[in-house]
Amino acid sequence: MCPALRRSYALAILPLACVFVCSFGASFARGQEPAPPAQAPPLDEVVLKDGTRILGKILAMENGVLSVETASAGTLAIQFPSISSITSANDHVFVLFDGGRCVGKPRISAAGTLEIATDALGVLPLDLAKVTALNPPPKKEFSHKGNIALNGRVTDGNTRVKSIGGTAEYEMRSDRTRLTLRGDTNYSEDNQQVTARNSSGGMKYDYFATKRLFLYTNASFQVDEFADLNLRTTLGAGAGYQFIDRTTATYYEELGVSFFDENFDSAPDQQYAAGRLSGKWDWEVAAKRVAFFHLHEFFFGFEDQDDLFADTKSGFRLTIAANFFATIQANYRWDNTPAPGKHRGDTEYLWGLGYSFAF
């Protein structure tokens, strides 16, 4: 190719090459432009009764303490009773005093009151005094809890007394069912003479037809050498109502019918149909420090009004360390038709050490 032709060819190609390079460079530059920053989620607002405003992310509330994650001060622990209002654009789970749950966005209404916007029920008023937990962890299919306690006493010298006893309770719970097992035993000697030997045990199965109303079936067994009792058996069924169901307090009452059978060593045996009234109350008086417990069970015969039997257990558990506790307990038992020569009422006072568990 002659030099003149080559120069003409190059002059024709050069503008096209410049246009290609500039277009590619512009496209590449546009591809490298930084994406716009993602918009940060709106912050939750907690207002205290003294007027203090806290902005951050509400995590959870348990045992009366609300956790809020803030950018400047880290995670804050706020006493829930000191809070005046909560505002959030995010959904939160509120657990109420009666065990009910409400999911929605808390906000301040136009009238200045606190409310919660839910998807299912619309806007509802919200009373913080009735909130017991916020954003609780997911419920397990089954939960387990219980305790075991031992008590004893040994003296030597002018008075030679030996006594040992124990109590145990176990509960397995799901949304619809509850299984309870309990038992106790006591043995005492005074100057090598046996003065007490008794044991009892029971089981109960509950089925919750609603969140509060449940049906139950139960069985209990009891022996007491010094009450001339070889075996007392009760088998029953009925219905109950769960008045309180919280982590810090539970209370229910039951009403049903039972078959009542008493087999004595020397006295005539007794069998009869009876009504049964029973209840259980557990209350954490001071968080993780002091707990009160009470159980009562009454039987009244349908045919003979003298066929009455009552059994109560009440006491306190005082936390020593971790899951270990000291316990003081009083048991009272009344049999209106005991074996001849035996007392109607029996009272026991127990002191001991125990261990509780929950998982």
What string of pLDDT tens digits covers the 359 residues of the chain? 445 445 544 444 544 444 444 444 444 445 455 666 666 678 999 999 999 999 999 999 988 899 999 998 999 999 999 999 899 999 999 988 877 888 999 988 777 788 999 988 899 898 888 888 899 888 778 999 999 999 887 766 666 778 899 999 999 999 899 999 999 999 998 888 888 899 999 999 999 999 999 999 999 999 999 888 999 999 999 999 999 998 889 999 999 999 999 999 888 898 999 999 999 999 999 888 999 999 999 999 999 989 999 999 999 999 999 899 999 999 999 999 888 888 899 898 889 999 999 99
Rounded to an integer, what distance in angstroms lies between the CA atom of residue 176 and that of residue 88?
A: 33
Rounded to the nearest 10 degrees, how much is the dihedral formed by the CA atoms of 232, 236, 242, 244? 0
Q: Are 124 and 118 in contact (CB under 8 A)?
A: yes
Spans of all domains in the chain: 44-134, 143-358
* CATH fold for domain 143-358: Outer membrane phospholipase (ompla); Chain C (2.40.230)
DSSP state of 43: P
Q: Are 290 and 316 in contact (CB under 8 A)?
A: yes
Q: What local confidence, expressed as pLDDT, does residue 21 receive? A: 44
Rounded to an integer, what distance in angstroms lies between the CA atom of residue 254 and that of residue 260?
A: 17
Q: What local confidence, expressed as pLDDT, does residue 336 receive? A: 92
Q: What local confidence, expressed as pLDDT, does residue 69 receive? A: 94
Q: What local confidence, expressed as pLDDT, does residue 20 receive? A: 45
Q: What local confidence, expressed as pLDDT, does residue 33 receive? A: 56
Single pTM value for the model: 0.66
CA proximity to 333, closest of 305, 350, 315, 308: 308
Q: What local confidence, expressed as pLDDT, does residue 19 receive? A: 45
Q: What local confidence, expressed as pLDDT, does residue 152 receive? A: 81
Q: How many CB atoms lie within 10 A of CB 333?
A: 20
CA proximity to 257, closest of 298, 198, 225: 298
pLDDT digit string, tens, across residues 291-306: 999 999 999 999 998 9
pLDDT digit string, tens, across residues 215-232: 999 999 999 998 889 999
For the chain, how far is it from start to end, CA to CA, in angstroms? 92
Q: What local confidence, expressed as pLDDT, does residue 32 receive? A: 54
User: What is the overall mean pLDDT for the chain?
Assistant: 87
Q: What local confidence, expressed as pLDDT, does residue 1 receive? A: 47
